[in-house]
Structure 1
């Protein structure tokens, strides 16, 4: 079976602070015309073990990638969201709150992506596979990837410049193939389930992550880990998953914890996070 590559545990993300930064901006800036002081960002991420140097270098890279803009007020530098970042964060918000833990509305269709790239284009092949995994596709066989439902793979293909090398179409299974066979050939459901079980083990306790200083960073880590989980979940048809599928319990837990800590996290953010309205302080947007 084709396993989905695991990302690093979001509870030890000092090596990958962009995940944390994106979630921080999603929680505190999405839907608002504001920018956050770099010192506030540094202070929040220091509470989860990310160094100042790592935060500053990641912010610079995110500006370079067109995800953030800089805004100056006096000697202070603030960071706001670009249209590209808003699109990414809105997609994350939809996955967290709108998609749901189980696909109960599957119409029987599959999206298939077929490609053939020579060894001289190994890097392109790797990038395509990585993007397909991120989009919820699984490898059915060499050069043929599938995802349940009707999926739009055009943006992935266009961004990688592979339109001449990739074919995309939708189809339904036919005898002797069964849809359950496709699920278990292309996706490692044991690996997916184990991720949710790990989430439950970490967060379903009387005092989740007691070493954290406050609910602001606890909520940041909760959202970071949950978004990584749902982004790696191909959202397989419920009829082909076991009845006690752990994603259902994990989603209930996530929503309950978020409701419990949201107000305290918001109060702490109001005290700690310095921000400015972008419209009043356009400053340097390089």
Structure 2
């Protein structure tokens, strides 16, 4: 199976993994070198950086050596900080959660602003919410803070009410969860991650010591694949999922890749 990594996605992943600790704005020349090691050519790096600048994710700034560079905007930094809690924390995809509280988002958007309705639905889906009914979406309660940050950032709070509570009936909660989320699609996404990145881990476990560049490249690609999963699968309670749920193994594989590769790869990143 071939893995697809877009230049823009890899740049965002790079800033999430290494860019925040770079010691200032990242020079354009360093971005070209570091993304080149991940298979992205220089024109693609420059065009993708330009798009991220137009979106307000990156800001032009002078690097420590006086050359042209880019730093994260305050909004982008907050977005990545929120993402850390999902990607690296105890609430990531495949992490068992105790059943109990849920976060309910109830929204209503006037017809003349229906473009905001589409934006709201798409962002809730990207945060890992499942659809209960039109205008009613649900997620594990631990995504509350990130949901609030996202709705505030997009100026959508006027259309949404958030509630926390328990599922009281009438179908068993496991049956309801299977309606609210496409569990088969989520399981397939976990399995695809395993197909692509578990062989890398096996090679490491067998004693293959990576060079800093190899560690950097393998880590960046694994993180670029993994970081989407804790959003599609927001850490649903384990006892509500099928017994053969592959998210447990996928989370364990990413965790070990992170431990083995991240810091070694940082040696390649250092200017």
- Please give the TM-score of this superposition, normalised by the length of structure 1: 0.78
Query: Is the CA contact (8 Å cut-off) linking 1:63 and 1:70 kept in structure 2?
Result: no
Of 69, 72, 81 in structure 1, the residue corresponding to residue 72 of structure 2 is 81
Assess, with a 3 A threshold, how the Cα gap between structure 1 residues 73 and 90 changes in structure 2: closer, same or farther.
Answer: closer
Assess, with a 3 A threshold, how the Cα gap between structure 1 residues 67 and 195 changes in structure 2: closer, same or farther.
Answer: same
Query: Is the CA contact (8 Å cut-off) linking 2:5 and 2:221 kept in structure 1?
Result: no
Q: Deviations over 1:10-51 (max 9, x none)?
A: 93223xx33211221222232453222211211222343433
**How many residues align structurally?**
257
Of 105, 124, 135 in structure 2, the residue corresponding to residue 132 of structure 1 is 124
- Gaps spanning 5+ residues in structure 1: where? 1-8, 275-286
Does residue 253 in structure 1 map to residue 253 in structure 2? yes
SS in 2 for 1:13: coil
Q: Deviations over 1:37-66 (max 9, x none)?
A: 211211222343433233223323333405
Query: Is the CA contact (8 Å cut-off) linking 1:69 and 1:82 kept in structure 2?
Result: no
Residue 157 of structure 1 deviates from its aligned partner by 3.3
Of 167, 188, 193 in structure 2, the residue corresponding to residue 199 of structure 1 is 193
SS in 1 for 2:248: helix
SS in 2 for 1:12: coil
Residue 194 of structure 1 deviates from its aligned partner by 0.8
Give, in whole Å, the separation in 2 of the partners of 1:165 and 1:35: 37
Assess, with a 3 A threshold, how the Cα gap between structure 1 residues 254 and 72 changes in structure 2: closer, same or farther.
Answer: closer
Does residue 93 in structure 1 map to residue 87 in structure 2? no
Greater Cα shift, 233-242 or 77-86: 77-86
Of 63, 68, 71 in structure 1, the residue corresponding to residue 59 of structure 2 is 68
Of 95, 103, 120 in structure 1, the residue corresponding to residue 96 of structure 2 is 103
Does residue 171 in structure 1 map to residue 161 in structure 2? no
- Gaps spanning 5+ residues in structure 2: where? 205-212
Q: Provide the residue aligned with 2:45 in structure 1.
A: 55
Assess, with a 3 A threshold, how the Cα gap between structure 1 residues 160 and 97 changes in structure 2: closer, same or farther.
Answer: closer
Give, in whole Å, the separation in 2 of the partners of 1:121 and 1:82: 28
Give, in whole Å, the separation in 2 of the partners of 1:91 and 1:189: 24
Residue 130 of structure 1 deviates from its aligned partner by 1.2
Aligned CA-pair RMSD = 2.8
Residue 74 of structure 1 deviates from its aligned partner by 6.7
Work out which structure has the larger RCO, using CA pairs closer than 8 Å and 6 or more positions apart in sequence.
1
- Please give the TM-score of this superposition, normalised by the length of structure 2: 0.82
Q: Provide the residue aligned with 1:217 in structure 2.
A: 217
Larger % of helix: which?
A: 2
Give, in whole Å, the separation in 2 of the partners of 1:31 and 1:50: 22
Q: Deviations over 1:78-98 (max 9, x none)?
A: 222333332222222222221
Give, in whole Å, the separation in 1 of the partners of 2:178 and 2:165: 18
Give 4+ residue runs of structure 1 displaced > 6 Å after superposition: none
Does residue 11 in structure 1 map to residue 3 in structure 2? yes
Give, in whole Å, the separation in 2 of the partners of 1:29 and 1:159: 22
Give, in whole Å, the separation in 1 of the partners of 2:65 and 2:82: 34
Give, in whole Å, the separation in 2 of the partners of 1:116 and 1:25: 35
